[in-house]
Amino acid sequence: MKAKLHLHNVLGSILESKGWEWPEKAVLEPPRDKNFGDMSANIAMMLSKQAKMNPRAIAEEIKSQLDNDPYIEKVDIAGPGFLNFTFSNSFWQNMIPEVLAKDDDYGRSEMGKGKKVQVEYVSANPTGPLHIGHGRGAALGDCLVRILEFTGHEVEAEYYVNDAGRQMLILGNSIWVRLQQSEGRDIVDPEDFYKGDYIKNIAKEVLELNPTILEMEEADSIAICREYGMNQILEGIKKDLAAFDVRHDVWFSEKSLVETGKVDETFADLKARGMAYEKDGALWFKSTDLGDDKDRVLRKSNGDLTYFASDISYHDNK
């Protein structure tokens, strides 16, 4: 902000001429009430002990030093020594040529140069279309990515694809149920399944692509439904985000953590450090050692992984 930078420079010169150091807790910021001017400062009060002067006396001294500044139109002293600054019209008018010259690059900086940042956002489960809540997250995440890039950061935008675990099993079974029902089989709707019409559409496509699917082993049929459904839904998500002008550089697959052995690697590391143990056929994380009220399950006795296990492995991957 040009106003803050100019004010900081002129106040710094005044303090230097007086032999005063810039106080650590000095704050320059726009006032809450715009009637108090363009910028406010508590610097006089923060200088009181160092200068061995009354804060208002310091404020008066600073004000007198600014009488000839062409860019500061007015300085008011409020309360115990707050300083309120109003900038002249010429200050703001002189900024216009720079704004026009830099165009879309006005305000760009290198404050983040050399710093890497990853922003993971949206990351909706590929079990159904995006809704308005996802749109909100997409807008916020994309704005953050653009702001960080504008300030010189090296940014990677990531979408974490939850393509493993219970929700994927439910997706596959939901499509399989609808597919069978469409062919006249008397199948009762499960308690946990996705009910949207998009499931019926996907089931129809699966049947068209796999005309013998009803003759296969059920586990194989569900696997086909799950894989096709996930890919179709994810493709729809990508199209929606593209239409919203939201980009992701990385689409990180949760399933890849298992397939590449990263989860097992993380488990082995936790065991080696005494942070995980086997009990009742399950693998537990010793979270009580870190202040938790109870230990948490990583791998259930039936072999299924918990969300917590994937999260730990994901962070280990980072």
Where are the chain's structural domains?
2-93, 108-254, 260-317
How do residues 12-39 score in pLDDT, each as one tens digit?
A: 999 999 999 999 999 999 999 989 999 9
pLDDT at 318: 83
How do residues 188-226 score in pLDDT, each as one tens digit?
A: 999 999 999 999 999 999 999 999 999 999 999 999 999
Mean pLDDT value across the chain: 95
Task: State pTM to two decimals.
Answer: 0.78
* DSSP per residue, 297-310: EEE-TTSPBPHHHH
Fold of 108-254: Rossmann fold (3.40.50)
Judge whether residue 1 has pLDDT over 80.
Answer: no
Judge whether residue 2 has pLDDT over 90.
Answer: no
CA 171 to chain CA centroid, nearest Å: 27
> Among all chains, which residue has been given the structure tokens 């100019």?
6
| Cα 289 from Cα 297, distance rounded (Å) | 14
Matching fold, domains 2-93 and 108-254:
no
Phi, psi of 159 (to 5 degrees): -115, 120
pLDDT at 307: 85
230 closest CA partner among 219, 220, 222: 222
CA 86 to chain CA centroid, nearest Å: 36
pLDDT at 146: 97
Judge whether residue 181 has pLDDT over 80.
Answer: yes
| Cα 275 from Cα 287, distance rounded (Å) | 8
How do residues 164-176 score in pLDDT, each as one tens digit?
A: 888 999 999 999 9
CB 80 within 8 A of CB 60: no
Judge whether residue 5 has pLDDT over 80.
Answer: yes
Judge whether residue 157 has pLDDT over 90.
Answer: yes
Q: How far is CA 103 from CA 55, 100, 140, 248, in A?
A: 42, 5, 24, 26
Judge whether residue 137 has pLDDT over 90.
Answer: yes
Mean pLDDT of 86-109: 93
CA atoms within 13 A on the CB side of 108: 13
Tokens of 296: 């948490």
Q: Is 75 helix (H, G, I), strand (E, B) or coil?
A: strand
Q: How many CB atoms lie within 10 A of CB 307?
A: 13
Class for the domain spanning 2-93: alpha beta
